[in-house]
Structure 1
Amino acid sequence: MTLFAIPAEFNALPWLTGIICLSLMAGFSGYLLPATVRFLTLAVCLLTLGLAYLAFTVPDVQSWVLLDSFGVTLQLDALAGYFLLTNALVTLAVLVYCWNTGRSAFFYAQLIILHTSLNSAFLCADFMSLYVALEVVAIAAFCLMTYPREPRIIWLGLRYLLLSNTAMLFYLIGVALVYTSNGSFAFSGLTEAPPEAIALIFLGLMTKGGIFLAGLWLPQTHGEAATPVSAILSGVVVKAGILPLLRCSMLSDELQMLVQGLGIITALFGVAYAIPAQDSKRTLAFSTVSQMGFILAAPVAGGFYALTHGLAKASLFLLAGSLPSREFKVLQKNPISFGFWVPLVLASSSIAGFPLLAGFEAKTLTLKGLPPWLAISLNVAAIGTAIIFCKFVFLRPSSTGKSLPTNLSIALGLLLTALAVGNIVYWQAFTPINVLKAIVICGVGAGVYVLVVKKLGLKLPDAGEKVDHLIGMMSISLTLLFAWILT
């Protein structure tokens, strides 16, 4: 029996729209009342926690069509609840991390607007309102990225905005084709749409979600952004393109196979680039690409996996920003404080799927019941993930050195505690076979890292990440998508 169970006749729409409207008002009020903006950000995070609670407790799935036959729809269900909860906890941790750092009201107001627009994207169940939400997400993310006003960061922000707008132009053409075919913008219209509509819409969402070649913009953007911005970009923002793909995968077996195939390719692609990376933040960014593939590979577990990834990855980015160097060669030679090493190991172990925090359950649930070709590919990617995070686990701890700053300690405490509490979601995963399998995967990854990867000086080419090639990568992705759909 659910604690504080909600009656079957309960209508969540007034609460949902009220929370979104209040959150937007709080964001714009932050400019007028700069002394209160941090507390407004805190209030918005708490409202989102309440919205996530509604998503997990409302009877069945609640959806509302707002514009008659146009199919503009909001949907509240457990899948959206996982993404809302991720947004609330990661934003709250970023707020705590930034609390006494002297950032202006502009930063916090944009954080509120980004947070609220992400909530809107997670609640949309039609292509047109999703388009509006994703565009607001892009603008707010750009404002946060360029907050330091440094020339290089401004260029990266403009690069992000250019690629985002280009991808969404393709997406909008696909949406027009869906409406022409069905007279509605609802997701369900995708099953009756022509192949080119599916390819165009998927290209836009893949670019937003950092999927395969269309996501090559992500590592440099997430790696060079300021520490708290990197945490929220990799922890939450990138998932704005992932949830719609999960919803599309549930419409038909063909779309599910397409989404799962994209997931497998992306999981292996991200691992291949992250393993030889020598920069800690770029390693984490390429790992995000890979982990988005894991989410898509098993849509039934995608929400829970997205939550555990967001919490662990935000922790790692916050920690990476406080390490004495970004280069692993430097970090390997100089011991780091035990206070930094312990949360590094905990968060890394969660993403690697070691039986400790909720990441183990998420990975076990993801691999459960998959067809052999999917399971084998994901297990290979899981070994690659273990290799990646051995880079952090095998750093040398020291009993001396600086301790964790108070703000960082509280933020990490919030995120890691949530990962520990998350163990209750799928506690059935703790069987001897599952635990042994996870230990073997992590052990194989550790062995490959120590015996092979650590000794190699391999570096993969990064030409595809340059701005003059990224549009070409999107074109290649569109061509491959269209060919895949036709066959």
Structure 2
Amino acid sequence: MNGLIIGWLLLPFLLAFSSALQPKLGWWMALFCCGTTLAAGLALSLDPQPILIQLVGPSGVSLLLDGFIAPFLLLNALVSAAVLLERGRSHDDPSFCLLVMALLGSINSALVCHDLISLYVALEVVSLCAFLLIADRHKFRSMWIALRYLMVGSTALLFFLIGCAQVQASHGSFSFEGVAQTTTGALALLLVGLLTKSGLFISGLWLPRTHAEAPAEVSALLSGVVITAGAAPLVRISQATPSLATAMLWLGLASAGFAVVFALLETDVKRLLAWSTVSQIGLAVISPVTAGLFALGHGLAKACLFLLTRRCPSRQLASWPEMPLPRSVALPMRLAALSIAGCPLLVGYLAKEQLQQQLGPLPVLLVTIFSVGTAAVYMRLWASPIQRLAAGQVPAASPFPWGVALLVVALVLGNGLPLLGSDSTLWLTSFKTGSLLKALGVLLAGWALHRLMRPLRPQIKLPDLERFDDLIGGMGIMGTALVVMLSW
């Protein structure tokens, strides 16, 4: 079994190297890697018994596979496959498939790593792959945004590496369990690194501009799966460190509230989706029990929306009421938006409902308020009418959106993911009449807030917080705030 798991982790890197020698087979190799990751996620969903692998002795590489990472693996496989299907096998750039395989493998590694140094290495590879996917050597601005992303990520991981050294000095190993016994300063350094990689709160200010400049399929990967490489270990560490539970709760809620305000006022659709990512990942990390399901629901819908943005005539939301969209774009866009807004019978609703069952009264109230704001944000994507064809008119020929179709199916079927486990009680309690009526009330309140915000939006100007010095300064602010919070 151990050999099979190690082979599965190494497979994307081996096939990425092989695709450099046989570029014509790269697309098929990448889809095969997605299939193996999907199989691993389903296997862990059906049998969530933990598998711990210790390599190179007790202080060496530690890997942990259990039910917690199953939704993250499913998300990684589905989003990567959808991007490959949308990109198409006949594309000119053979390096894209190579980079997607390397990214898939490095995210898988980050999810299963259970020691800090292995996690650091995996996150560095994730950053490098994302940098190469964002960068377009023919566009100066794209190169700068990619370099900015790399510099911010490298600075964050430098803080993380210093924290790793302090954990080893205080505990004698790099295990996740040692984090609970380390100093407040070391814990703050680790968190700054992971919060930045997750795109949370002030540490996530790199997201909007990066998404706006990256190609749509790269934005889908960044928002769908790259941020989970930091979010999943962050939740793991908070599970092993009781003192972190309260800090993560309020940091997640702060991220959700802070970013939803910016999303409500944003005029560019890709930046709106990026701000929404900062908000939704904040909600994903506040409860280890629902983190995987929440990340799955968010990642599937957000990847779908980013892939659809390249089929829209304009990114400026002000022009959408006069911009009819074909059904192949408008209908999946509405469905994905409803899922993130928490519409019943979609995986986004299930994730939010189960999250609220894990929280106390005040956090539940705040999550409900932020959910109203999220619903108002996504009502804006309903502004565009559906294109109607005149009698006898034939729609313009276009390739079938296989990737988008895969994500839409997953958004519907994802509702049944908790049933793959042994306990379906939590799933059944999510569909009580009161819960369904509350969800519909949130959607209605979101629609009312959307209508209220329309005349006010042009009059409200929020500060620009996305300059490079702001991003680096934000890490310092977060580090100081974390030291204060963890010292209480």
TM-score (norm 1): 0.94
**Alignment correspondent of 2:345:** 356
The answer to whether structure 1 residue 274 and structure 2 residue 267 are counterparts is no
SS in 2 for 1:21: helix
| % identical aligned pairs | 37
AA at the equivalent of 2:111:
F
Post-superposition CA distance 1:269-298 (Å, at most 9, x none):
110111100000000000000010110122
The corresponding residue for 1:336 is 325
- Residues 206 and 405 from structure 1, CA distance in 2 versus in 1: closer, same or farther, beyond 3 angstroms? farther
Q: Verify: 1:222 aligned to 2:211, yes or no.
A: yes
Matched to 1:352, the amino acid is A
- Give the letter aligned to residue 406 of structure 1: P
Q: Which residue of the other structure, out of 240, 245, 249, is the alignment partner of 1:260?
A: 249
Superposed displacement of residue 103, structure 1: 3.3
Partners in 2 of 1:86 and 1:338 — Cα distance?
26
Distance 2:324 2:237 in 1: 47
Determine the structure 2 residue equivalent to 1:112: 101
- Deviation digits for residues 123-155 of structure 1, max 9, x if unmatched? 111111000000000001111111463111111
Q: Which of 374, 399, 412 in structure 2 is aligned with 1:406? A: 399
Q: Number of residues paired by the alignment?
A: 475
CA contact (8 A) 1:390 1:446 kept: yes
2:175 corresponding residue in structure 1:
186
User: Against the structure 1 CA distance between its residues 71 and 266, is the aligned structure 2 distance closer, same or farther, given a 3 Å change threshold?
Assistant: farther
Does 1:144 pair with 2:136?
Answer: no
Ranges of 4+ aligned residues in structure 1 off by more than 6 Å: none
- Rounded Cα–Cα distance in structure 2 between residues aligned with 1:95 and 1:44: 11
In the other structure, the counterpart of 1:448 is 449
* SS of residue in 2 equivalent to 1:65: strand
Question: What displacement does 1:466 show?
Answer: 0.6
CA deviation after TM superposition for structure 1 residue 398, in Å: 2.2
Q: Bigger CA drift: 336-345 or 137-146? A: 336-345
Take 1:84 and 1:61, find their aligned partners in 2: how far apart are those partners? 15
**Residue of 408, 413, 416 corresponding to 1:416:** 408
Distance 1:460 1:72, change over 3 A: farther
**Worse-matched range after superposition: 458-467 or 376-385:** 458-467
Q: Which residue of 2 aligns with 1:461?
A: 462
Tell me if 1:125 matches 2:125: no
1:425 corresponds in structure 2 to 417
In 1, distance between residues paired with 2:397 and 2:455?
Answer: 27
Q: Is the 8 A contact 1:263 1:294 kept in 2?
A: yes
Measured after TM superposition, the shift of residue 455 of structure 1 is 4.7
Query: Is 1:388 the counterpart of 2:377 in the alignment?
Result: yes
Give how far 1:402 is off. 5.8
Which whole-Å CA distance do the structure 2 matches of 1:361 and 1:28 have between them? Answer: 40
1:404 CA drift (Å): 8.2
CA spacing shift, 1:147–1:54, aligned 2, 3 Å: farther
What code does the residue aligned with 1:442 have? L
Match of 1:5 in 2: none
Q: Residues 230 and 405 of structure 1: is their aligned pair in 2 closer, same or farther, counting only changes over 3 Å?
A: farther
RMSD over equivalenced CA pairs, Å = 1.6
After superposition, residues 281-360 of structure 1 pair within 5 angstroms as 281-360=270-349
Contact 1:107/1:147 (<8 A) preserved:
no
1:68 corresponds in structure 2 to 57
Q: Say which is worse superposed, 429-438 or 128-137, in terms of deviation.
A: 429-438
**Post-superposition shift, 1:69?**
3.3
Check whether the contact 2:287–2:358 (CA below 8 A) recurs between aligned residues. Answer: no
Letter in 1 for 2:413: V
Q: Residue type matched to 1:476 in 2?
A: I
Q: 1:477 maps to which residue?
A: 478
Distance 1:343 1:110 in 2: 27
1:453: how far off?
3.6
> Is the contact between residue 373 and residue 449 of structure 2 (CA under 8 Å) also seen in structure 1?
no
Residues 454 and 111 of structure 1: is their aligned pair in 2 closer, same or farther, counting only changes over 3 Å?
farther
Q: Give the counterpart letter for 1:466 in structure 2.
A: R
Residue 433 of structure 1 and its aligned partner are, at CA, apart by: 0.8
Q: Output the TM-score relative to the length of structure 2.
A: 0.94
Residue 375 of structure 1 aligns with an amino acid whose one-letter code is V
CA distance in 2, matches of 1:404, 1:219: 33
Contact 1:56 1:81 in 2 (8 A): yes
43, 52, 57: which is aligned to 2:41?
A: 52
Assess, with a 3 A threshold, how the Cα gap between structure 1 residues 160 and 433 changes in structure 2: closer, same or farther. Answer: same
Gaps of 5+ in 2: 419-426
SS at match of 2:227: helix
Q: In 1, are the aligned partners of 2:199 and 2:278 still within 8 Å (CA)?
A: yes
Task: Tell which deviates more after alignment, 446-455 or 81-90.
Answer: 446-455
Which secondary structure does the structure 2 equivalent of 1:396 belong to? coil
Query: Does the 8 Å contact 1:72/1:186 carry over to 2?
Result: no
Residues 484, 460 of structure 1: CA spacing in aligned structure 2 closer, same or farther, 3 A cutoff?
farther
CA distance in 1, matches of 2:197, 2:466: 15
Answer yes or no: is the 8 Å Cα contact 1:278–1:327 preserved in 2: yes
> Amino acid of the residue matched to residue 487 of structure 2?
L
Distance 1:440 1:454, change over 3 A: farther
Cα deviation, residue 249, structure 1: 1.6
The answer as to whether partners of 2:48 and 2:67 remain within 8 angstroms in 1 is no
- Name the amino acid aligned to 2:440: I
By how many angstroms is 1:100 displaced? 4.5
Q: Give 5+ residue unaligned stretches, structure 1.
A: 1-10
* Cα deviation, residue 52, structure 1: 1.2
Distance 1:303 1:36, change over 3 A: same
